[in-house]
Amino acid sequence: MSSRLTRLRGRRALVTGASGGIGRALALRLAAEGARVVLVARRADALEALAAEVRAAGGEALALPCDVAEREAVAAAAAHVVEVWGGVDLLVNNAGYGHHRRFLEWDLEDMERMLRVNTLGSLYWTKALLPGMVERGEGWIVFVASLAGRIAPPDESAYAASKFALVGLAESLSLEVEDLGVHVLTVCPGVIRTPFFDREALERMPAAARRQMVEPDGLVEAILGALRSGRRELTYPRMLAGAYAVRALFPRFFRWGVKRTAKRPDQTGSEGAE
């Protein structure tokens, strides 16, 4: 069975975190390519509005409110999808959120919640839908992780932990299921211009990172391209992948550079000092 997803028309695609940002943009693009889309997020009103937009454009959409951090809720939602549509061909584990806070200042409940949403939510959905893919001998799973899942920045300890775990889950799973007809793609975006980066995040973000911020449409196109070509890993923008080699070859220099560029204005005297 080919690992390349060359045809989306008629495919059943489920996108978590579909109410905004990357998830919304990806769901709209999948629908435009002819996929039948299941839209998952907590906000029912936002999902219904998105589903109406898909239908108005001639597509097919199912709005499915669900908190991905709740195991039983995911199991029930997945069972409903299987009952209504017979299963899912493409699962996009995209739901997630983050904050930019020092570990010592971070509320423990929020850190736990972040790990449940960002990591366990993907685990729950994959556990629920993967068996059907294996039974059919065909399927695609996308894990939207983060550059912070490969290179841990300061002020994002809980977020980085959740994304490192997601990258490990995806890589291990890929080795297990690729010979069973299921292809796994791990996506590590850099700084994407979405509501994820709220006012707090933008104020704390180094100037260098703000200059690297890109629009979500390019990431969506890159994800579809990676699925078409059968790639297993995608870092976007692609130039950021060079940081992995620098980190491996020159760890002390890399660590110094990360600490220097991550300093906030109140630590350097002026933002321009970065």
Query: pLDDT per residue over 100-127, tens digit each?
Result: 889 999 999 999 999 999 999 999 999 9
Q: pLDDT tens digits for 81-93?
A: 999 999 999 999 9
d(CA 229, CA 196): 29
| pTM for the structure as a whole | 0.89
d(CA 81, CA 88): 8
> Active site includes 97?
no
Which of 97, 124, 159, 244 does the annotation list as catalytic? 159
Six token digits for residue 99: 């904050």
d(CA 78, CA 56): 25
**pLDDT value for 266:** 45
**pLDDT value for 271:** 25
Which class does domain 12-241 fall in? Answer: alpha beta
